[in-house]
Amino acid sequence: MKGAMQLATMMAQDPGKAVERVESVEERRERLWDQCSGLAQEPDILSRVEAVLPHTGYVGESKTPLNLYLGITSRCQPRPISTLIQGPSSAGKSFMLGCVLKLFPPAASHEIPSVSPKARAYGQEPIANRIIGLAEAQENVRQ
């Protein structure tokens, strides 16, 4: 949205200059590939993720956050997987989710602090290709 506002401002000031500054799809793809190609071509991405986890503040077993990482990564696939983190109260589930989400852009997730059976029907937030973080579900929703 911020980019659209900047483009609108530039077009209002000097329409010709604004058109010159618009990045083509190919240029954007190339720029983004330059930023991520090292990781994208990594033969063992999960080892890299495991090495980075302590820098997010997470220390503990790595199986659960790595599975969560894979689940979040699948959000852009045609059939993304669902991931559920369960455990006793105060076990660090939300903290672990927050640490793993630091490895993704903010737009990759949408957190819902509490949910009722009709929450999604009335929600306005777009959820395509995003992970939905439900902090606490009511008991009748978990069935």
pLDDT higher at 113 or 18: 113
The predicted-structure confidence for 27-70, as pLDDT tens digits, reads as follows 889 999 999 899 889 999 999 999 999 999 999 999 999 999 99
pLDDT score for 87: 84
Most confident of 4-18, 58-72, 100-114, 127-141: 58-72
Q: What angle do CA 90, 129, 125 make, to 5 degrees?
A: 75
Q: Is residue 135 within 8 Å of residue 94, measured between CB atoms? A: yes
Cα separation of 120 and 71, whole Å?
20
The predicted-structure confidence for 13-30, as pLDDT tens digits, reads as follows 665 555 556 778 888 899
Cα separation of 110 and 89, whole Å?
22
Can you list the positions of beta strands (E) in the chain?
A: 109-115, 131-137
What is the pTM for the complete model shown?
A: 0.67
